[in-house]
Amino acid sequence: MFYFIGLGLGDAEDITVKGLRIVKAAKRVYLESYTSIITGGKEKLEEFYGREIILADREMVEQNSDEILKDADKEDVALLVVGDPFGATTHTDFILRAKELNIEYTTIHNASIMNAVGCCGLQLYHFGQTVSIVFWTETSKPDSFYDKIAVNRKNGFHTLCLLDIKVKEQTIENLMRGRKIYEPPRYMPCSLAAEQLLEIIENKKEDGETDLAFNEDTICVGLGRVGCANQKIVAAKLKEFPCIDMGEPLHSFIITGNMHLMEIDMLKMFALEPTTIK
């Protein structure tokens, strides 16, 4: 059997009882290590689980999935995923590949940012499409997600923004030369996401757009390390976030839509200035 096991969002102890039982008994256990991070990393997991764990980086997950699936039709193999196994589309590819190889699979679900985001007080059924905000470069500043935010705002929905993670990335030069030299990991903070969002609306204004999806005074919510002991939540105007330090990664960002009175009262608990939340 091939097992997809969600680890939750906090630390090694967030695994389910069922998941832990499978981890202890499986022949091989892999940790998907590039779509998210977990407190303590691989070492803390091994200490708590009492067994060896194999790191599965981006290259292994996306290009050498057969290595992970090898012999899973004869023995139990597990892939550990921070959050929930289906929080990233990459893991759906594993299901399709397992099916091609006639390998049975089972999923052990857990909390992910997609549901834990409710910790800020915004109600889950008031969220629209989730978007991803990627790191900009001098030559690439994608903003196609703006249209999804616009649809959400038009319908009164909140938008969860998942912020970019760069792990085991190569420069173009090293990639072209075939050199296995990787850049240090980078995790987008809420402050940078806000800067890019502000630049997008400035560009829209320069292009003559007047009916913007959001503006500098739109109430947003920054979340840091959701599910961890040092979780941090801040509600403030978009224009204030470039100067807000949310601490260590991982961060997520929310652009609010129409808010229920109860949502407003909850956000005031996390507000820089409660009177701005309305």
Report the C-alpha gap between 251 and 142 in whole angstroms.
Answer: 20
Query: Max alpha carbon distance in the chain (Å)?
Result: 62
112 among annotated binding-site residues: yes
CA dihedral 147, 148, 151, 156 (to 10 degrees): -130
Half-sphere exposure of 204 (CA within 13 A, CB side): 19
226 among annotated binding-site residues: yes
108 among annotated binding-site residues: no
113 among annotated binding-site residues: yes
126 among annotated binding-site residues: no
CB contact at 8 A, 232 and 190: no
Residue 203 phi, psi dihedral angles, 5° rounding: -65, -40
Q: Is 274 helix (H, G, I), strand (E, B) or coil?
A: helix
251 among annotated binding-site residues: yes
Instruction: Please report, in range form, the residues annotated as the binding site.
Output: 9, 84, 87, 112-113, 163, 226, 251
Q: Which residues are annotated as a binding site for S-adenosyl-L-methionine?
A: 9, 84, 87, 112-113, 163, 226, 251
